[in-house]
């Protein structure tokens, strides 16, 4: 073979290799649903507030004096804006994997309060390092706050040992989600521990953790429909919500999202919009939230009326006057009353909040296109063994709470 022809083929071969490499990198970067970063170094020094662990005993306490509140342990990379809506949630470290799927359907900021009993500190920190190292949307959108029970806070040397140990975690990002789930699957559910789970303290910490004027407070395993964030932002601007509202809606308006639950045995696909949701309702793969556990707690939403509402742009479908024992999920203004932090573990923690808003003369408007879906059907076997005892304890507190509301809002004609 003559030398010029050999060089020509060699040059052609190199060009083909370069093109194949470019195509491969494009595929790796863009084709994966979770936007993984297999080639990124784990580097968090610029945003993880590790030094605060050295002065953990100087952190602010909650009103009960039982918990340290560790705000902004990790800040998102996005700019915090008041003219926004935040998805606020709470969990222990073994449920943090839900952040990956949440950031796929929620395009705005997320504020997550993580409860850290001493037994779960190392796993929680390791999980956070992996999530922020591997998932672009998590580090762009999610701000993390920690809540520590004072009774089990480790001493400084043990804390720093676990922090340094968790920093040494190494994983391939393509396998990260599976590894996180496997590591945490035997830790246990949030409520099934001797240390009380302060759900309302966590809710308040999350919703107060960013500057957004509006918040959607949900459980970590509930997913909003695909375009809820952008649709509500358009609705908010159209109705001037970030500047006090209009003649229809103001800072005493909350916007309810009908809640559903999906049978994970029938489908793994979460409905992206209302038409997909209705199809799944018709074939029995989806049903209203708490349908078996407490149907009366969700029935006032009027699912049949909501289902009949047509339209493309998000709007209010109808208004419902709050009634006991309705426990709606809703988008509310920052000025709305906080959750009562005396309610812990299971029972009355959300209904007490909905009840107070009613007594405080807030109005409940049902959004016609938005909704939430819980992963898995809820039934009696899905609860921890002390659920009934906790419910009875909180029922007594709820009676006291309702009496206190009469004094707090003496001019209100609304009662729970």
Please tell me the distance from the alpha carbon of residue 363 to that of residue 127, in angstroms, as a whole number.
40
Same structural domain, 233 and 141: no
Does residue 24 lie within any of the structural domains? no
Both tokens assigned to 113: 């309060």
Same structural domain, 306 and 167: no
Same structural domain, 138 and 286: no
Which of 185, 211, 229 corresponds to the end of one domain?
A: 185
Give the model confidence (pLDDT) of 175-231 as tens digits.
889 889 887 765 555 544 578 999 999 999 999 999 999 999 999 999 999 999 999
Query: Is the pLDDT at 38 greater than 70, yes or no?
Result: no
Of the candidate ranges 81-85, 284-288, 386-390, the one whose mean pLDDT is the lowest:
386-390
Same structural domain, 383 and 258: yes
Strands 363-367 and 253-257: parallel
Query: Is the pLDDT at 31 greater than 50, yes or no?
Result: no
Same structural domain, 275 and 136: no
Does residue 297 lie within any of the structural domains? yes
Same structural domain, 239 and 166: no
- Residue pair 342/233 in contact by the 8 Å Cβ criterion: no
- Select the more confidently predicted residue: 170 or 330: 330
Does residue 201 lie within any of the structural domains? no
Does residue 261 lie within any of the structural domains? yes
Query: Is the pLDDT at 241 greater than 60, yes or no?
Result: yes
- Residue pair 254/364 in contact by the 8 Å Cβ criterion: yes
Which of 185, 200, 230 corresponds to the end of one domain?
A: 185
Same structural domain, 251 and 136: no
* Domain containing residue 379: 221-408
Q: Is 4 helix (H, G, I), strand (E, B) or coil?
A: helix
Does residue 198 lie within any of the structural domains? no
Please tell me the distance from the alpha carbon of residue 154 to that of residue 245, in angstroms, as a whole number.
47
Q: For 393-406, what is the mean pLDDT?
A: 94
Tokens 């953990």 correspond to: 56
pLDDT bucket at 39, cuts 50 / 70 / 90: very low
Query: Is the pLDDT at 22 greater than 70, yes or no?
Result: no
Residues in the chain, how many?
Answer: 416
Please tell me the distance from the alpha carbon of residue 179 to that of residue 174, in angstroms, as a whole number.
10
Does residue 386 lie within any of the structural domains? yes
DSSP assigned state of 48: B
Same structural domain, 252 and 123: no
Q: For 330-341, what is the mean pLDDT?
A: 98
- Select the more confidently predicted residue: 45 or 114: 114
186 Cβ partners below 8 Å, 6+ apart? none
Please tell me the distance from the alpha carbon of residue 263 to that of residue 266, in angstroms, as a whole number.
6
Domain count, the chain: 2
Does residue 43 lie within any of the structural domains? no
Query: Is the pLDDT at 362 greater than 90, yes or no?
Result: yes
Does residue 4 lie within any of the structural domains? no
């Amino acid at each position: 073979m003559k030398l010029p022809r050999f060089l020509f083929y060699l040059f052609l071969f190199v060009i083909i290799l370069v093109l194949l490499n470019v195509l491969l990198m494009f595929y790796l970067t863009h084709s994966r649903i979770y936007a993984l970063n297999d080639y990124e170094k784990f580097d968090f020094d610029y945003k993880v507030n590790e030094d605060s662990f050295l002065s953990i005993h100087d952190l602010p306490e909650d009103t009960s004096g039982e918990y340290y509140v560790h705000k902004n342990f990790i800040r998102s990379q996005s700019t915090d804006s008041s003219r926004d809506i935040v998805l606020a949630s709470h969990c222990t470290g073994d449920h943090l994997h839900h952040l990956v799927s949440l950031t796929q359907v929620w395009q705005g900021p997320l504020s997550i309060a993580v409860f850290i009993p001493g037994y779960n500190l190392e796993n929680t920190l390791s999980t956070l390092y992996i999530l922020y190292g591997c998932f672009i949307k998590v580090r762009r959108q999610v701000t993390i706050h920690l809540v520590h029970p004072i009774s089990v806070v480790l001493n400084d040397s043990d804390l720093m040992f676990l922090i340094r140990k968790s920093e040494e975690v190494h994983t391939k990002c393509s396998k990260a989600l599976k590894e996180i789930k496997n590591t945490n699957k035997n830790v246990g559910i949030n409520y099934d521990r001797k240390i009380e789970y302060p759900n309302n303290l966590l809710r308040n910490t999350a919703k107060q953790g960013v500057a957004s004027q509006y918040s959607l407070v949900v459980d970590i395993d509930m997913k909003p429909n695909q375009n809820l964030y952008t649709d509500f932002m358009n609705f908010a601007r159209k109705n001037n919500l970030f500047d006090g509202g209009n003649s229809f809606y103001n800072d005493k308006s909350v916007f309810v999202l009908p809640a559903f639950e999906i049978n994970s045995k029938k489908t793994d696909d979460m409905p992206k919009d209302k038409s997909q949701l209705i199809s799944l309702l018709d074939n029995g793969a989806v049903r209203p939230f708490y349908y078996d556990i407490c149907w009366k707690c969700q029935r006032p939403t009027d699912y049949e009326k909501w289902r009949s509402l047509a339209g493309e742009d998000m709007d209010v479908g109808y208004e419902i006057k709050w009634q006991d024992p309705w426990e709606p999920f809703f988008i509310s203004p920052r000025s709305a009353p906080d959750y009562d932090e005396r309610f812990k573990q299971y029972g009355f923690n959300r209904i007490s909040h909905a009840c107070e808003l009613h007594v405080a003369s807030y109005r409940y408007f049902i959004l016609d296109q938005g909704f939430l879906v819980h992963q898995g059907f809820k039934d009696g076997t899905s609860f921890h063994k002390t659920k009934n005892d906790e419910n009875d304890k909180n029922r007594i507190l709820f009676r006291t709470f309702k009496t206190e509301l009469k004094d707090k809002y003496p001019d209100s004609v609304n009662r729970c």
